[in-house]
Amino acid sequence: MTDDPDREFDAQPTVCPFCGVGCSIEYAGNGTTGGTDGPVNERGEICPKGAAAFDVVAHEERLTEPLVREHGHTVTAPWDVAMDRAVEGLRSVVAEHGPDAVQFFASSNCTNEENYVFQKLARVLGTNNVDNCARLCHASTVAAMGERLGAGAMTNTLDDLATTDCLLVTGANPAEQHPVAFRSYLLPAVQDGATLVHVDPRANDTTDAADIHLPVRPGYDIQLLNAMTAVLLKEGLVDESFVAERTTGREALADHLADLDVAATAREAGVDPDDLRAAARAYGEADAAAAVTGMGMSQHRSGTDNVHALLNLALLTGNVGRPGTGVNPLRGQNNVQGAGDVGALPGVLPGYEPVTDPEARERVAAEWSVEPPAEPGLTEVAATHRFGEDVHAAVVFGENPAVTEPNATDVAAAFERLDCCVVIDLFETRTAELADVVLPGSSWAEKAGTVTNTDRRVLRMRPNADRPGDARRDLDVLTELGRRLTDRPGAFRYDGPEAVFDELTRVSPLYAGMSYEGIGDGAQRWPFPADAESGTDVLHAEAFATGDRTAPLTPVDPVPPADELGPDELVLTTGRVLQQFNSGALTRRSPRLMAMRDEDTLRIHPEDAAARGIEDGDPVVVSNDRGRVRVPAEVTAAVRKGTVFCTFHYAEPLVNALTGDALDPVAEIPEFKHSAVAVAPAPATEAAAEDAEAD
Ligand X SMILES: Nc1nc2c(c(=O)[nH]1)N[C@H]1C(S)=C(S)[C@@H](COP(=O)(O)OP(=O)(O)OC[C@H]3O[C@@H](n4cnc5c(=O)[nH]c(N)nc54)[C@H](O)[C@@H]3O)O[C@H]1N2
Question: In the complex, what is the shortest distance from the CB of residue 248 to ligand X, in angstroms, rounded to a whole number?
Answer: 28
Nearest to 464 by CA among 441, 480, 443: 443
Contact pattern from residue 123 through residue 162 relative to ligand X, giving x for each residue in contact according to CB under 6 A and a dash for the rest: ----------x--xx-------------------------
Minimum CB distance to ligand X smaller for 158 or for 295: 295
Please work out the total of residues on this chain that contact Mo ion, with binding judged by CB under 5 A: 2
Quote the DSSP letter at residue 44.
-
Nearest to 144 by CA among 261, 274, 298, 304: 304
223 makes contact, choosing from ligand X, Mo ion, ligand SF4, none, with CB < 5 to 8 Å by partner type, with: none
Provide the pairing of β-strand 551-552 with 247-248: parallel
180 makes contact, choosing from Mo ion, ligand SF4, ligand X, none, with CB < 5 to 8 Å by partner type, with: ligand SF4
Residue nearest to ligand X (CB): 296
Question: In the complex, what is the shortest distance from the CB of residue 410 to ligand X, in angstroms, rounded to a whole number?
Answer: 14
* DSSP-derived 3-state class of residue 288: coil
Minimum CB distance to ligand SF4 smaller for 50 or for 468: 50
Minimum CB distance to ligand X smaller for 47 or for 364: 47
Which one of the spans 11-19, 493-501, 550-558, 674-682 is the region binding ligand SF4 (CB under 6 A)?
Answer: 11-19
259, containing H or E segment: none
d(CA 338, CA 335): 5
Contact status: 137 vs Mo ion (CB under 5 A): yes
End-to-end Cα distance, the chain: 29
Provide the pairing of β-strand 247-248 with 289-293: unpaired
d(CA 458, CA 456): 7
Phi, psi (rounded to 5 degrees) for 643: -120, 140
Question: In the complex, what is the shortest distance from the CB of residue 108 to Mo ion, in angstroms, rounded to a whole number?
Answer: 7
d(CA 486, CA 410): 32
387 makes contact, choosing from ligand X, ligand SF4, Mo ion, none, with CB < 5 to 8 Å by partner type, with: none
Contact status: 172 vs ligand X (CB under 6 A): yes
Question: In the complex, what is the shortest distance from the CB of residue 693 to ligand X, in angstroms, rounded to a whole number?
Answer: 26
Q: What is the 3-state secondary structure (H, E, C) of 666-695?
A: CCCCECCCCEEEEEEECCHHHHHHHHHHHC
Minimum CB distance to Mo ion smaller for 165 or for 664: 664
Contact pattern from residue 326 through residue 365 relative to Mo ion, giving x for each residue in contact according to CB under 5 A and a dash for the rest: ------x---------------------------------
Instruction: Please give the residues from 560 up to 589 whose contact with ligand X meets the rule CB under 6 A.
Output: 573-576, 578, 580-583, 585-586
In this chain, which of 443, 453, 524, 554 binds ligand X, going by CB under 6 A?
A: 443
Taking a C-beta distance cutoff of 8 angstroms, is the pair 58, 41 a contact?
A: no
d(CA 641, CA 618): 18
d(CA 235, CA 43): 43
Amino acid found at 637:
A
Contact status: 328 vs ligand X (CB under 6 A): no
50 makes contact, choosing from Mo ion, ligand SF4, ligand X, none, with CB < 5 to 8 Å by partner type, with: ligand SF4
Contact status: 399 vs ligand X (CB under 6 A): yes
Minimum CB distance to Mo ion smaller for 100 or for 405: 405
d(CA 174, CA 210): 12
Please work out the total of residues on this chain that contact ligand SF4, with binding judged by CB under 6 A: 13
Instruction: Please give the residues from 261 up to 300 whose contact with ligand X meets the rule CB under 6 A.
Output: 294-297, 299
Instruction: Please give the residues from 35 up to 74 whose contact with ligand SF4 meets the rule CB under 6 A.
Output: 46-47, 49-50
Which one of the spans 314-322, 358-366, 441-449, 551-559 is the region binding ligand X (CB under 6 A)?
Answer: 441-449
Nearest to 368 by CA among 528, 487, 527, 513: 487
DSSP annotation string for 148-216: HHS--S-SS-HHHHTT-SEEEEES--HHHHSHHHIIIIIHHHHHTT-EEEEE-SB--HHHHT-SEEE-P
- Please state, as a whole number, how many other Cβ atoms lie within 10 Å of the Cβ of residue 466: 15
Residues that bind ligand X (CB under 6 A): 17, 19, 107, 109-110, 133, 136-137, 170-173, 176-177, 199-202, 204, 216, 218-219, 221, 294-297, 299, 332-333, 397-401, 404, 424-427, 429, 441, 443-444, 474, 573-576, 578, 580-583, 585-586, 645, 648, 655-656, 659, 672-673
Residues that bind ligand SF4 (CB under 6 A): 16, 18-19, 21-23, 46-47, 49-50, 178-180
